[in-house]
Structure 1
Amino acid sequence: MISPALALTGVLYDRLVDHLYPGDRKEAAAILLCSRTPGPRLRLLAQDAILVPHAACKVREPDRINWPGEYLERAIDLAEPFGLAIVLIHSHPGGLFAFSRPDDDSDAIVMPCLFQACGDSHGSAIMTPDGAIRARLYDSDLNKTAVELVSVAGHDLRFFWECDAERRDRAKRPMAFTSDMTAELKRLSATTIGVSGTGSIVAEQNARMGFGRNDYVDFDKVEGRNLNRILNSTLKDVELKKPKAEMFAEAVATYRGPGVAFPVTKSITTREAVLAASQADVLFCCVDTLEARYIADLISSAFLIPLFDVGVSIPTRRTPDGAPAIADVCGRIDYVQPGRSLLQDRGVYTPDTLRAEYLRNAFPEAFRAEVEAGYIKGVAEEAPSVIMLNMRAAAACVNEFIARAYPFRLDSNEKYARTIFSLAACEEEFMAETEFTVSDNPVLGRGAQEPLLELPTLAPRREKKA
Structure 2
Amino acid sequence: MQYQLRVSGNLYKELQQHLFPGDGKEAVAVALCGRYERDGISILLVHELMLIPHKECYRAEDVVCWKTETILPFLEKASKKDMAILKIHSHPGGFPAFSDVDDESDKDLFSSVFGWCESDSVHGSAVMLPEGRIFGRVITPKLESFPFDKVSVAGDEIKVWEHNTSSYSPDDFAVRTAQAFGEGTYSKLRRLKVGVVGCSGTGSPTIEQLKRLGIGELVLIDPDEVEHKNLNRILNTTREDANLRRLKTEVLSSHIRETGLGTKVVAYPFNLYDSPEALQELITCDIIFGCVDSVDGRHLISQLTNFYLIPYFDQGVKLDADGKGGIDKVSGTVHFIQPGSSSLLSRGQYTRQILFDECLRRQDPVEYSKRLKAGYVHNADVDRPAVISINMQISSMAINEFLNRLHSFKNEPARNYAQVSMDYSDGSICNVAEDDLPVDDYQVMWAGRGDLSTFLRMIELSAVKV
Verify: 1:449 aligned to 2:452, yes or no: yes
Q: After alignment, is 290-299 or 267-276 more displaced?
A: 267-276
Runs of 4 or more above 4 Å deviation: 358-361, 368-371, 379-382
Distance 1:453 1:233 in 2: 35
SS in 2 for 1:37: strand
- Return closer, same or farther for 1:144/1:432 CA change in 2, 3 Å cut-off: same
Structure 2: runs of 5 or more not aligned: 168-177
Structure 1: runs of 5 or more not aligned: 167-173
CA contact (8 A) 1:312 1:390 kept: yes
SS in 2 for 1:349: coil
Matches within 5 A, 1:202-221: 202-221=206-225
Distance 2:220 2:327 in 1: 32
Matches within 5 A, 1:321-336: 323=324, 325-336=326-337
Residue number in structure 1 paired with 2:233: 229
- Normalising by the residue count of structure 1, what TM-score does the alignment of the two structures yield? 0.89
Q: Deviations over 1:163-212 (max 9, x none)?
A: 3499xxxxxxx985344322211211100011111111111111221221
Q: 2:399 is matched by which residue type in structure 1? A: V
CA contact (8 A) 1:176 1:408 kept: no
The alpha-carbon deviation at position 238 of structure 1 amounts to 2.3
The alpha-carbon deviation at position 316 of structure 1 amounts to 3.3
SS in 2 for 1:135: strand
Matches within 5 A, 1:299-314: 299-314=304-319
Distance 1:202 1:10 in 2: 24
The alpha-carbon deviation at position 365 of structure 1 amounts to 6.4
CA contact (8 A) 2:212 2:261 kept: no
The alpha-carbon deviation at position 390 of structure 1 amounts to 0.6
Q: After alignment, is 142-151 or 397-406 more displaced?
A: 142-151
The alpha-carbon deviation at position 427 of structure 1 amounts to 0.6
- Return closer, same or farther for 1:23/1:461 CA change in 2, 3 Å cut-off: closer
- Normalising by the residue count of structure 2, what TM-score does the alignment of the two structures yield? 0.89
Matches within 5 A, 1:132-281: 132-164=133-165, 177-256=181-260, 260-270=264-274, 271-281=276-286
CA contact (8 A) 2:153 2:159 kept: yes
Distance 2:86 2:253 in 1: 37
Verify: 1:37 aligned to 2:40, yes or no: no
Residue number in structure 1 paired with 2:56: 56
- Return closer, same or farther for 1:291/1:100 CA change in 2, 3 Å cut-off: same
Q: 2:60 is matched by which residue type in structure 1? A: E
- Return closer, same or farther for 1:42/1:358 CA change in 2, 3 Å cut-off: closer
Q: Deviations over 1:75-124 (max 9, x none)?
A: 21121111111111111111212111100111122222222322321121
Residue number in structure 2 paired with 1:435: 436
Q: Deviations over 1:439-466 (max 9, x none)?
A: 222432121112111011111379xxxx
Q: 1:157 is matched by which residue type in structure 2? A: I
The alpha-carbon deviation at position 259 of structure 1 amounts to 7.3
Distance 1:105 1:406 in 2: 38
CA contact (8 A) 2:211 2:261 kept: no
Residue number in structure 2 paired with 1:9: 8
Distance 1:191 1:163 in 2: 23
Q: 1:282 is matched by which residue type in structure 2? A: I
The alpha-carbon deviation at position 364 of structure 1 amounts to 4.1
Q: Deviations over 1:267-303 (max 9, x none)?
A: 1223332222111100100001111001011011011
Q: 1:50 is matched by which residue type in structure 2? A: M
Root mean square deviation of aligned Cα = 2.6
SS in 1 for 2:429: strand
Q: Deviations over 1:381-417 (max 9, x none)?
A: 56x4501111001000111100111111111111111
CA contact (8 A) 2:319 2:386 kept: no
Distance 1:38 1:269 in 2: 21
SS in 2 for 1:301: helix
Distance 2:273 2:179 in 1: 37
Q: 2:96 is matched by which residue type in structure 1? A: F
- Return closer, same or farther for 1:376/1:267 CA change in 2, 3 Å cut-off: closer
Distance 1:428 1:461 in 2: 40
Residue number in structure 1 paired with 2:95: 96
SS in 2 for 1:421: strand
Q: 1:89 is matched by which residue type in structure 2? A: I
SS in 2 for 1:186: helix
Q: 1:108 is matched by which residue type in structure 2? A: K
CA contact (8 A) 2:416 2:433 kept: yes
Number of aligned residues: 445
The alpha-carbon deviation at position 358 of structure 1 amounts to 4.7
